[in-house]
Amino acid sequence: MVTAKPSLTTQVADDPADTLRSNPLRIGISTRALFDLEEEHRIFEDEGVKAYAAMQLNREDIILRKGAGFEVVERLLALNDPGTAPYVEVILLSQNSPDLSLRAFKSIDHYGLAVKTGSFTSGRSLSDFVPAWGIDLFLSNMDADVKGAVAGGAAAARLGVAPKDKVETPTGEVRVAFDGDAVVFGAESDIIYKEQGLEAFLAHEIANASNPMARGPFGNFLHKLSALRRVFLDEGNVSKVRIALVTARNAPAHERVIRTLRAWGTPADEAHFVGGHSKSPILKAIGAHIFFDDQEKHVLGAAGVVAAGHVPGPHDPNVPVIPAG
């Protein structure tokens, strides 16, 4: 039997630029994640919706300051080529009323962001609108909306405030860092550690080193981000889109990570197996623009140097998962 060679049609369909132009990477972001609305939110919490609405209307012409998710959104949108179908789309999702949307879009226009679409729900949960927009990644400051987005099939994370000690990095690059287990990968190995202990976990990972792990909540987003990375690879195999893995795993549990990424066709530009060490200095050295982790401890530790997103997971925030072996 003669095996047919891949057709030209198949080769073209696999081109990441064409694929993303027909189905772009879609980022949904709340107004509080894009802009600094902490003062306004305190008014909402302390004095209620009427005082909040009055404050927003009174400040309608005052440009909002940049929030935790602003830089990564700005850098992703800068990858698009003017006049052609975009690789990346950003949709603004807000529980504000449509009347209060003017300040957000005036600020977007002021900063020159190519954000043209959004939903304003007057207090209704945003979770139903995440699948309606086909969102790949949803960023918010609200736990309920993040969990709703996860239920709707999107990768989602809760951001805090903008970092105060971030590293200046070259324009034109986007650096995204991920934790491994229960974020990029499934939580199966975490469960073995939790139920059977470290020795059982290490034995399992050594025995299954060549077996790819299941996709975790950010697995699909990683695949799409990896396609964007491929669009911008140069002859030296360096891309404007850099992907880093920063995980508490270390040797010998590292091998399964590398082999899984290889099997998925989603290589990382950097991998850091930190064991019991803090992730924050590593993330600062990377110059990451955003970092995703399922453990509150690591998110809080990283938040001073990078926009850090907490990924909802099954773990007790006070119990470390997969420490150094």
Residues forming the active site: 179
Closest to 308 in 3D by CA, of 324, 322, 319, 294:
294
124 is written with which tokens? 């209704």
Instruction: Give Cβ neighbours of residue 179 (< 8 Å, ≥ 6 apart).
Output: 245, 246, 247, 248, 279, 291, 292, 293, 294, 295, 298, 311
Task: Tell me the C-alpha to C-alpha distance, in Å, between residue 295 and each of 167, 275, 311, 312.
Answer: 23, 14, 8, 9
Letter for the amino acid at 239?
Answer: S
Q: Do β-strands 174-178 and 155-159 pair in parallel, antiparallel, or remain unpaired?
A: unpaired
Task: Assign 3-class secondary structure to 193-250.
Answer: HHHHCHHHHHHHHHHCCCCCCCECCCHHHHHHHHHHHHHCCCCCCCCCEEEEEEECCC
